[in-house]
Amino acid sequence: MSVSDALSRRRLLAIGSAVGGGALLAACTSNEKKGDSGSGSQTVNNSQGDNTAPGKAVKIGFSAPAADHGWIAAITANATAQAGKYSEVTFVPVAAGKDVTEQRPAVESLISQKPDVIVMLPHDGAQMTSTGRKAMDAGIPVVNLDREFSDPLAYRLLIKGDNYGMGVAAGHYIGQKLKGKTNPVIAEIPGIDELQLTQDRSKGFRDALALYGLKVGPRIAARFTVASGQEVTANLLSGNPHIDAVWNHDDDQGVGVLQAMQQAGRKEFFMVGGAGSLDAMQHIKAGDTPLEATVTYSPTMASSAINLARLIAQGRKMSELAELQVPKLIILQSETITKDNVDQYMPLGFRS
């Protein structure tokens, strides 16, 4: 299969996932039964009514890494605020500490409290898989948020952003702007290279650029922090006297990236960010830095995770879907924010 065919297939899948995600937010469609047309098809009428109405009392456990990063802080803030909207939900967060060795015992202590469901953003999906499986084996459904467990038996629902799609979106924006330019220098500043999500983002970026006959040039990974973003960007700029475009995977580390660019006085390139922080959107709107666009990876997925965890614990379904159960997998669409549409995304932005 060619790259073009593969991307076409992925776009079709992305459309399907966007429809699924959109159903979560859309108003309920009519459940009025239609007459039989003789074709063998019929409308399924299995609505359980208004899912916002209080249901049975449930306890939702929650674990996410320490909020020392704007996106992670927004994940925890969104989850906490969403749980607070439901009078019948008891929200039980446990500190996940600085790494897997601290998160694992914290979640195991949560399992011993026997919540009705657990929402977990792991430090590392693969390394926390056994803990997710332990909860599932104990009869506690797990909503795996963002960083995917390596065993599908370790979660009841996986909800995540489209990491591959982020790379594709960034690649298309840069590819369209540099189309026809001879041998442009395209730099990439990823986050933590050991994470699968970073690898997926980089692959999507390479695949999209290839459609324009372009390729990634200098690539140097940061660590999703302001300090690392500043350090690696200073090295990148000193080693490359001319750059045409930069994709920085993460708007939090992007604060440091922009600081290094300003300190170097470099303005010959444009930049695309990643995640959709409020800081990034304000720069895009003002046009005061090389940052022209950012591709979304919204922490609002935590709010959706709480909504769906509640439905799972209460034995409800998504009223917009015909199926009787909440789906197993939801992938959120990655969208491109530019000066033309930034105002509509500002309310979803988070502080770096």
Q: Which tens digit of pLDDT belongs to each residue from 194-231?
A: 988 899 999 999 999 999 999 999 999 999 999 999 99
Query: Per DSSP, which regions of the chain are E strands?
Result: 58-64, 89-95, 117-120, 142-145, 157-161, 186-189, 245-248, 270-275, 291-296, 329-332, 336-337
Q: Are 64 and 75 in contact (CB under 8 A)?
A: yes
Take residue 154 and report the two structure tokens written for it. 């370790």
Taking residue 323's Cβ as centre, other Cβ atoms within 10 Å add up to: 10
Q: What is the CA angle 297-303-305, rounded to 5?
A: 90
Q: Is 211 inside any structural domain?
A: yes
Q: Are 293 and 338 in contact (CB under 8 A)?
A: yes
Cα separations in angstroms, 166 against 44, 170, 268: 35, 6, 24
Going by C-alpha positions, the residue among 297, 263, 305 that lies closest to residue 280 is 297
Q: Is 224 inside any structural domain?
A: yes
Q: Is 322 inside any structural domain?
A: yes
Residues 320 and 269 both lie in one domain: no
| pLDDT given for residue 69 in this prediction | 79
| pLDDT given for residue 301 in this prediction | 96
Residues 213 and 314 both lie in one domain: no
Take residue 89 and report the two structure tokens written for it. 């939900």
Q: Is 193 inside any structural domain?
A: yes
Going by C-alpha positions, the residue among 253, 270, 287, 291 that lies closest to residue 185 is 270
**Residues in the chain with pLDDT values less than 50:** 1-48
CATH assignment at residue 204? 3.40.50.2300
Q: Are 248 and 271 in contact (CB under 8 A)?
A: yes
Residues 135 and 167 both lie in one domain: no
Q: Are 213 and 242 in contact (CB under 8 A)?
A: no
Residues 181 and 283 both lie in one domain: yes
Residues 279 and 308 both lie in one domain: no
Residues 194 and 204 both lie in one domain: yes
Per DSSP, the three-state class of 283 is: helix
**Per residue in 230-252, pLDDT tens?**
999 999 999 999 999 999 999 99
Per DSSP, the three-state class of 343 is: helix
Strand partners, 63: 94, 120
Residues 145 and 228 both lie in one domain: no
Instruction: Report d(CA 41, CA 87) in Å as an integer.
Output: 40
Q: Is 39 inside any structural domain?
A: no
Q: Is 31 inside any structural domain?
A: no
Residues 177 and 287 both lie in one domain: yes
Residues 327 and 240 both lie in one domain: no
Domain boundaries, position 212: 163-297+338-348
State pTM to two decimals. 0.80
Q: How many domains does the chain have?
A: 2
Instruction: Report d(CA 345, CA 287) in Å as an integer.
Output: 16
Residues 196 and 276 both lie in one domain: yes
Q: Is 62 inside any structural domain?
A: yes
| pLDDT given for residue 305 in this prediction | 98
Instruction: Report d(CA 129, CA 122) in Å as an integer.
Output: 9
Residues 194 and 342 both lie in one domain: yes
Residues 147 and 184 both lie in one domain: no
| pLDDT given for residue 20 in this prediction | 39
Q: Is 3 inside any structural domain?
A: no
301-314 helix and 3-25 helix, angle to the nearest 10 degrees: 60
Instruction: Report d(CA 163, CA 275) in Å as an integer.
Output: 10
Instruction: Report d(CA 144, CA 160) in Å as an integer.
Output: 8
